[in-house]
Structure 1
Amino acid sequence: MDKYFNNKIIWITGASSGIGEALAWELSRRGAKLILSSRRIAELERVKNNCAHPDNVHILPLDLTDSANLEAKVPLAIALFGHIDIMVHNGGISQRALVAETDIAVHREVMELNYFSYITLTKALLPHFIARGSGYFVVTSSVMGKIGTPMRAAYAAAKHALHGYFDCLRAEVGQYGIKVTILTPGYIHTPIATISGDGSFTSNKSEHINAGFSADKAALQIIKAIQNEAYEPYIGKFIGEERLALFVKRFLPGLFTRLISRFGTPK
């Protein structure tokens, strides 16, 4: 068992595949008690049954696009084990299309799922954390929350918004013993759904995603980041273009802008 995670109650959204699934397995192995949420109940059952301690795993079906009913899910989640120690926001969709070819409805859909669902659950759970004098929000953003590249405007906008919101939240709630970590993964090989400019979904992944960091390795880095209570850790390959892009954007923004404008339409 892991001293940090043993008996911690952790709620994970987007837990039916990818990073959420890998986190569930690793956290269960370390003795955590889990609440797993997504829309796909059968997949959640599969993830639960493959956990090291399935008796300490509860399933709470949750549709992050159903914003009107998200707040009501929070007391149900708390009731499963009596309290929550860590909230891992992980659900979401990707997006690939040029700005000129992306419907406004797509921007709203991506923002609703990748941003508004996170802050709705956060605001509903916050009183519970304040009352307990402890709590931890772990937020899956992206390298695209710090930079912008062609064909990712809706996705990058939602991820940038997460950084602004949770940076402000961190500044407000530290006095209550509440922590915030914003994860910035690079390319991770996961089956994340991708929406096109017209609102249709595509199963075609970019070459970067297909060659991306494994979800299992990403989960191990995330666990270390939580243990270290890191503010904004990069998750991914130690040597890779995503990490380099973050460095250049921060320290040489003019160079980054010139380079990215020549990048063209990524494959």
Structure 2
Amino acid sequence: MSNINRAFQNKSAFIGFVTGGDPSIEKSEEFILEMIRAGADLVEIGIPFSDPIAEGPVIQEANIRALSAGATVEKLFGLVKSLRAKTEVPLVFLTYLNPVFHYGYDAFFKRSRDVGLDGIIIPDLPFEEQAEVREAAVKYGIDIISLIAPTSRSRIQEIAKAATGFIYLVSSMGVTGVRSEIRTDLGSIVAAVRDVTKVPAAVGFGIHTPAQASQIGKIADGVIVGSAIVKIIAEHGGDAGKYLYEYVKAMKAAIGQ
């Protein structure tokens, strides 16, 4: 059984995202542990990349800060290894295909297993082209997290059937970033997923308030928050830990209400 299942044992999982290395590797570890202490059930760690096509300006700027501070794939593997010695909470990389390809698929997923990573999200890897990457990931026990977008309606069940770990349901079209309203019919998408798989479905893109978290928590198995967390780090820098703790604690409390 995947360690990612741990995040959904009590339903209504809170999943937080940080850009690894923003503002430093050491601070990323501190922030992640604060989020876990506040109730985060799973943490996504973004591998900073120079051309993050799915990201809005908040996370793009975080990528620039992390790269400028010297973040590398190898340092992020070290971050996961250090975190794994301190927590059993599932950890997932979010990255674009280019860094994985250049590292080498087999080498990347072997290293992922060795440091204790649980899964990977690759936004620019189309479902139809996953075979080679999935083969290497399965070999080393790393879950590939499938994304289902509102435009994927005709393919929802095909993608869901092949999913492992959890399914990332994209709430809105466009890039990441906070949104005042989420109008996508998420209920029907979640229902279609549940017709074909028991793999948990979590919703991300745009969620940033406790009210939104509460609403989504009634529909899906988990709530994913990225840009709002990254904005706190951008605002407070190295002192963001206490603010992240309070924010995650409030969001976690709202889920399932």
Q: Which has the larger radius of gyration?
A: 1
How high is the TM-score relative to the length of structure 2?
0.36
Does 1 or 2 have the higher relative contact order (CA < 8 Å, sep 6+)?
2
How high is the TM-score relative to the length of structure 1?
0.35
